[in-house]
Structures are given as C-alpha cells and as structure tokens.
C-alpha cells in the first residue's frame, strides 16, 4: 500500500508556495478560520490547517498509529477526493505563508536592532 500523501519535489513545492502567495483575500480568510479550528478543536500546532495536520499524520502513520493514524488517513482520503495529494500541497502553502510572516517581521525594523 502506498502512502496517501507523497512528498513534493522542490519544483512542486515552489509551485504550491506561489499559489498560496497569490490567494485572494477571501480564501486567505477561510484559511485563517481553518487554522483556528485546527488549533482549538484538533489541538494542532499554531498556524497549521486541518489539511496540513491530516497530511502529516497520514504520512507519518501509513499504517497503525491508533486513532490519530486513522484520523490522518481518513481525512487525507477525503481531501484527496477534491485535490490529489492535498495534504502535501497544503503544507507547502502553509510554509509559504510562514515565510511571508518571517520576512514581514524581519523587514519591520523591530527585530535585531542595536540599542542606541
């Protein structure tokens, strides 16, 4: 049995990151709600969507893993119905958003400034 979630190549990762960078504002808002739901209800790490969490779990537990593994595989099967390899694509999009946040912080002038 092959894994439900396949790692992306560097080119595929770059493509998915570019798509995330170009998302319209309403889609970005939906992602924010998704992240809040994942954190509050599913106890996911901060700024991780339901799709990302399910994809990572399914990849780590292609078999076994108890309820957690079952959840990741089941959710990934459901999401793959709408978009093949959705968990990996969502993770690449999440990484792009995180990189934007890091760049914003670094360019803000509020970090790593010498005291005068």
How long, in residues, is the chain? 116
Say if residues 106 and 37 touch (Cβ distance below 8 Å).
Answer: no
Tell me: pLDDT of 1 over 60: no
What does the pLDDT read at residue 116? 60
Q: Mean pLDDT across the chain, nearest whole number?
A: 91
Instruction: Report which of 77, 97, 96 is spatially closest to residue 87, judged by C-alpha positions.
Output: 77
pLDDT of 115 reads 66
pLDDT tens column, 63-113: 999 999 999 999 999 999 999 999 999 999 999 999 999 999 889 888 877
- The Cβ-side half-sphere exposure at 70, using a 13 Å CA radius, reads 2
From 79, 80, 88, select the one nearest 56 (Cα to Cα): 88
Asked whether the beta carbons of 3 and 55 are under 8 A apart, the reply is no
């Amino acid at each position: 049995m092959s894994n439900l979630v396949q790692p992306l190549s560097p080119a595929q990762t770059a493509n998915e990151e570019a798509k995330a960078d170009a998302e319209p504002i309403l889609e970005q808002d939906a992602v924010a709600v998704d992240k809040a739901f994942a954190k509050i209800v599913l106890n996911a790490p901060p700024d991780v969507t339901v799709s990302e969490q399910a994809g990572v779990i399914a990849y780590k537990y292609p078999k076994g893993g108890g309820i957690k593994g079952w959840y990741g595989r089941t959710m990934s099967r459901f999401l793959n119905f709408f978009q093949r390899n959705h968990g990996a694509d969502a993770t690449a999009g999440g990484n792009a958003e995180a990189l934007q946040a890091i760049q914003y912080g670094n360019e803000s002038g509020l970090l790593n400034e010498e005291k005068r």
